[in-house]
Amino acid sequence: MKRRILIAPDKFKGTATAIQAADALEKAVLAHCVQREPEHLEIVKMPMADGGDGSLALIERAFSQYVTRVEVPAFDALLRPVSAPMLRSGDDFFIEMAQVCGLAALRQEERNPEQTSTFGLGVLIRKAVELGAKRIVLGIGGSATNDGGEGMMCLEPGRHVTEADLAWIDAHIRGKIEVLVACDVNNPLLGINGATMVFGPQKGADAAMLERLERRMEAFATRAGLDPLLPGGGAAGGVGAALAARYGARLIPGWQLFSRLFKLEEQIAAADAVLTGEGRFDAQSLSGKLIDGIAGLCRQYRKPLFVVCGRNTVPYKVWHKAGITDLYTLQEVEPDPCRCYHGTQQLLAAEGIRIAGCDEAGRGCLAGPVFAAAVILPEGFYHPKLNDSKQMSEKEREELREVIEREALAWSVVAVSAEEIDRINILNASITGMQRALDGLSVTPQQILVDGNRFRPYVRPDGSRIPFHCVVHGDARSAAIAAASVLAKTHRDEFMRKIAREYPAYGWDRNMAYPTPEHREAIRKYGITPYHRKTYKLD
């Protein structure tokens, strides 16, 4: 049966666009899935946005046959001339604020929210009006400004808004053109959670400047009639409040607007699993932003959701409660911040990452050891017969064992005796076995994937920890886990055939000590052997 995976990431700010992130994640999935053929796997890429940098490019990519690009002479946040694009589809216009007032366009030393202006955004809006707009959709994320939208409302640059400016807006826009704003935050205009105090520091403001900016914003809000408490009013340094108050705009969570455009809900409903991500995963990520929206839809349709991020500051209990199945952090694999930042696309694609797959065999048996294996496959490894060992014939498993042991970068198999299983229980024995198998690898992995849902942190002799992830049904999904499954199963079967010659009455060469009727009947007739697990129900 074909498995459908939806890849719907946001941008990794400054390192990978949403399109680049989706392409890289597709490479990772294809490189590490067990079955990659089109008849078994369908990957749907849907790069997403929430109104910030890159939003226009995604619309153009998704609706290229329906939109035309319009280049407009405008101004950047420091009032320098630039050529900025907007998209047109009939009477609808799509504008991305970051194209003219974007923080990413400024060098670090140029970032100063006392100097930056939203005038360039106003130029684009007025051009859309001039071209006959009936609806304007604005993405206002990624701005470098904190002027409350004053520059946007001015007909001329470098001055305060006048009654004439406001009259022009009333005459040409308010009540005449529908204005929709993709807003990715819920912050109000003023206060400790407002535009200045929350977003000012990332735009270049120090503590003293924040106080000045807040006082300036208070004065302007009173003069221009802006609602200081409007949720989302603090977006883009107050542009959200200005658009709502003066242009009659509706503020819509950015992910909702783009999910409607791209039919995200329908795609999630049709998927078997969803993969998303962003550069920094923090408290805001689960407060009305894209990942929060995707998590809600995944909960609604009962779909597993996997998140990849550059850095994570959200505790496990919080993101797990939000409905996220697992979260992968690039900085776990590459702790050096600089190398992680500059290598984002390679890390997203899992290029050059040594991944160890772990699995065990014999957990439900009545006798014999549990065998555990760890395998690091070489980059690009693929074998069409590789699968969960339970889904393979004995002949196929033996063939794959030879291939894996010959081609793996490293592999290790260990046995945990029936006596130790009785002493520490089968769960602990399985985990202990996998950890010992990891100890036996000749190459140190950078990440560990474990079949099932239970494991313990793996600590190296030097005290460092290697990040691990538990994957339910991982032996049918991850190539590395499937390879470990094959080795654990074949090595255990070999051992059971050997001891079956010592105790032939139990049929271990056929049933491998699983609780078959043949095995249970032999126990009733002949009693137990030193290989039996005495803490199991044997009769």
Q: Where are the domains of the chain?
A: 3-48+263-348, 55-256, 355-526
- Say which residues have a Cβ less than 8 Å from residue 243's Cβ, sequence separation at least 6: 138, 140, 149, 179, 181, 249, 251
- Say which residues have a Cβ less than 8 Å from residue 65's Cβ, sequence separation at least 6: none
- Say which residues have a Cβ less than 8 Å from residue 283's Cβ, sequence separation at least 6: 313, 314
Fold of domain 55-256: Glycerate kinase, domain 2 (3.90.1510)
Taking 90 as the threshold, does the pLDDT of residue 461 lie above it? no
Structure tokens at 315: 């505790």
Task: Tell me what pLDDT residue 283 has.
Answer: 86
> Which residue(s) pair with 468 in the sheet?
448
pLDDT category of residue 1 using cuts at 50, 70 and 90: confident
Task: Tell me what pLDDT residue 114 has.
Answer: 96
Task: Tell me what pLDDT residue 289 has.
Answer: 83
**What is the residue-wise DSSP string for 431-490?**
HHHHHHHHHT-SS--SEEEEESS----EE-TTS-EE-EEEETTGGGTBHHHHHHHHHHHH
Q: What is the mean pLDDT of residues 178-197?
A: 93
What superfamily would CATH give domain 3-48+263-348? Glycerate kinase; domain 1 (3.40.50.10350)
Does CATH number 3.30.420.10 belong to domain 355-526? yes
pLDDT category of residue 2 using cuts at 50, 70 and 90: confident
H/E stretch holding 354 reads none
Taking 90 as the threshold, does the pLDDT of residue 538 lie above it? no
Task: Tell me what pLDDT residue 255 has.
Answer: 87
Taking 80 as the threshold, does the pLDDT of residue 238 lie above it? yes
pTM above 0.85, yes or no: yes
Q: Minimal CA–CA distance to 1: which of 265, 382, 272, 303?
A: 272
Phi-psi sector, 46: left (phi>0), alpha (psi -120 to 50), beta? beta
